[in-house]
Structure 1
């Protein structure tokens, strides 16, 4: 397989966030906080342009009412997404198994970045 980071934009079919970076997550109340950290500068440029708050909101729509806010941390080559109303009322109130923000970083990493 070729390195997806070096492919032309038209060849990003099937590229996922995990191809370009890794994630860290946490939670507070009913809010999930998920960061995606790029592996390198090429990956950072792709993530900045394609991993939008709208795309994240769509991926989390089945569990999160939103809104989704994106913060850029260019010196870290990272994006931080704050996803409101994502944890079923909060960890201590939710009936869902393992509703913590940490488990949701796996969902973030599977987002398809194809256009």
Structure 2
């Protein structure tokens, strides 16, 4: 979890604990205290559910953003690699043509030298 999520959860927990302790030490009847505890528990549960939904939404949003960025970078890398591979192939084809031309000259010289011998 991120720092802000931990902070929010800490504040919620502290609020719930503080409210509970305040109610327990208040000079009210037991039935009123139980009612207040019940209400505070429900409020804390609702707050926690709301914050969990917010955190879940932020995580999902971040995932989608990061995935999109990753896909874009991967496409860029693949495109770059494709161009580089094409450059390498072109260079190798050029060298192959040079080697074929040299080989042809060597073969021609061999035949000429063989005729003279």
- TM-score, scaled relative to structure 2: 0.22
Q: Which has the higher helix share?
A: 2
> Higher strand proportion, which one?
1
Higher relative contact order, chain-length normalized (CA < 8 Å, sep 6+):
1
TM-score (norm 1): 0.22
